[in-house]
Amino acid sequence: MNKADLQKNIGFIVATSLVIGTVIGSGIFMKPGSVIALAGDSTMALWAWVIGGIITLASGLTIAEVSVKIPKTGGLYAYLEEVYGKFWGFLCGWVQTIIYGPAVIGALGLYFGSLVASLFGFSDNSKTIIGIISVIFLCIVNLLGTQYGGFVQSLSTFGKLVPIALIAVFGIWQGDVPVFGMESESSQTISMGAAVLATLWAYDGWMNVGFVAGEMKNPAKTLPKAIITGIIIVMIAYLSVNIAMLHTLPANKIVELGPNAAKEAATLLFGEMGGKLIAIGILISIFGALNGKILTFPRIPFAMAEDKLLPGAKWLSRIHPKFKTPVQATVLQLVIAIIMMLAGNPDRLSDIAIFTVFLFYGLAFYAVFLLRKNGTDNNHLYKVPLYPVTPMIAILGAIYIVGSTLIYNPVDSLFSIFLSLSGLPVYKMIKSQKTKTTVRKVS
């Protein structure tokens, strides 16, 4: 099927469902307690979800313009390489390979393990082992062929929407706990920036919304509508679930329960058996999100290895002769993810992931201004609405997240920056090797 045929296949409904499907994962069930604790009370926590949604909406609309002007595979890595040069593309891909991808996979695995342990009454020590086993299992499934990973993904899409709808509707309808102005009673330092950062874990995935631009009937009209509609639906869903949980459980109880708050709220609303069924729905949602990350993230080091931009490129760029999957690139992500799972808790890993990726998101948002300035401004393509206000909101949001995280959590932030900069000597080494190879060929 050629590109022209593909362009006729995706309309508004499909594009909007892709937005919703790529964004909704584990965060809405795992993060309410963290957000309340960091925000200080229930009202500020709800505002954190709104601010996170606004930053996400502005970000998605901005990246959509970049994606239609740079119609290349590779996402963020490809955009930065095209606009800023090979070095920035490499550094972005390096960070996604050794920090962002493994940290996301690790956090999702640990959240999944925590819920499984709670649901079946296993010891608290078992959650890391369960998480690691789950990550290894899904890696094997995806290595056997993308059709198996795709099947798991399709199956889990329905599962993620059921618990959201049931908790939101019945929690708001049946709950009797005051929603607003309820103190968290947490000993954590109050930081609105950190609270917004926690919500952005739940909103993460919006970077994928622009990838389907080249396959739409009319991207100039369909893409912005799909992004706006999709992210607004996600915002409403997230706010509804948070209001429902606050209406069902006291704010301090949600903080105390942490990742198990949604399961406890479901048990109060639907009884022991109903609560377990909702908990299974939540597990399916997280399992699907984890599968999607394991399916897609190894493609970043694989693409970089194909461009000979990673050590061991020949090994990492191999495709299994039978299964046609990037085995070595997937194993690399798996090993780093397991090390992170053994070393850190899921909230910490998710914060590190969002912080590091927003370092590069800011550059991608600014690329809109550079692309327009350089004349890459085709009138028939999609343009970000309310330019330059929308991209400025996205840029300021990125600066706010990076700055507040540096202040709130300097140790993890500086460690993430150090790991990011560790790519500098690697890039120099690879460039030097390429130069030597070129000289040998010429001589």
Instruction: Give me the domains of the chain, ranges plus CATH numbers.
Output: 12-432 (1.20.1740.10)
Decide if pLDDT at 407 tops 80: yes
For residue range 368-399, list pLDDT tens digits in order.
999 888 875 555 667 888 889 999 999 999 99
pLDDT of residue 58: 92
Give CA angle at 434 (430, 440), nearest 5°: 145
Decide if pLDDT at 237 tops 70: yes
pLDDT of residue 51: 93
Which residue did the predictor score with more confidence, 276 or 419? 419
What is the 3-class SS of the chain, one letter each residue? CCHHHHCCCECHHHHHHHHHHHHCCCHHHHCHHHHHHHHCEHHHHHHHHHHHHHHHHHHHHHHHHHHHHCCCCCCHHHHHHHHHCHHHHHHHHHHHHHHHHHHHHHHHHHHHHHHHHHHHCCCCCHHHHHHHHHHHHHHHHHHCCHHHHHHHHHHHHHHHHHHHHHHHHHHHHHCCCCCCCCECCCCCCCCHHHHHHHHHHHHCCHHHHHCCHHHECCHHHHHHHHHHHHHHHHHHHHHHHHHHHHHHCCHHHHHHHHHHHHHHHHHHHHHHHHHHHHHHHHHHHHHHHHHHHHHHCCHHHHHHHHCCCCCCHHHHCCCCCCCCCCHHHHHHHHHHHHHHHHHCCHHHHHHHHHHHHHHHHHHHHHHHHHHHHCCCCCCCCCCCCCCCHHHHHHHHHHHHHHHHHHHHCHHHHHHHHHHHHCHHHHHHHHHHHHHHHHHHHHC
Range with lowest mean pLDDT among 7-21, 283-297, 328-342: 7-21
Cis peptide before 219 (omega within 30 of 0): no
pLDDT of residue 365: 93
pLDDT average, residue stretch 242-255:
88
Decide if pLDDT at 153 tops 60: no
Burial of 374 (0-12, 13-18, 19+ CB in 10 A): exposed
pTM, rounded to two decimals:
0.82
Q: Provide, rounded to the nearest whole percent, the portion of the chain with pLDDT above 90.
A: 15
pLDDT of residue 189: 74
For residue range 80-117, list pLDDT tens digits in order.
888 998 889 889 989 988 999 899 899 989 988 988 88
- The identity of residue 360, as a single letter, is F
pLDDT of residue 1: 40
Range with lowest mean pLDDT among 18-27, 94-103, 119-128: 18-27
CB atoms near residue 373 (< 10 Å):
9
pLDDT of residue 6: 37
Which residue did the predictor score with more confidence, 35 or 213? 35
pLDDT of residue 154: 58
pLDDT average, residue stretch 183-206:
81
Which residue did the predictor score with more confidence, 193 or 318? 193
For residue range 26-39, list pLDDT tens digits in order.
788 888 888 998 88
Which residue did the predictor score with more confidence, 200 or 323? 200
Binning pLDDT at 50, 70 and 90, where does residue 151 land? Answer: low
Highest mean pLDDT among 41-50, 166-175, 202-211, 288-297: 41-50
pLDDT of residue 4: 39
CA-wise closest residue to 288 among 145, 141, 103 = 141
pLDDT average, residue stretch 1-13:
51
If you average pLDDT over every residue of the chain, what do you get?
Answer: 81
Close Cβ partners of 195 (under 8 Å, ≥ 6 residues apart): 34, 35, 38, 39, 44, 45, 48
Structure tokens that stand for 350 in this block: 């998710």
Decide if pLDDT at 336 tops 60: yes
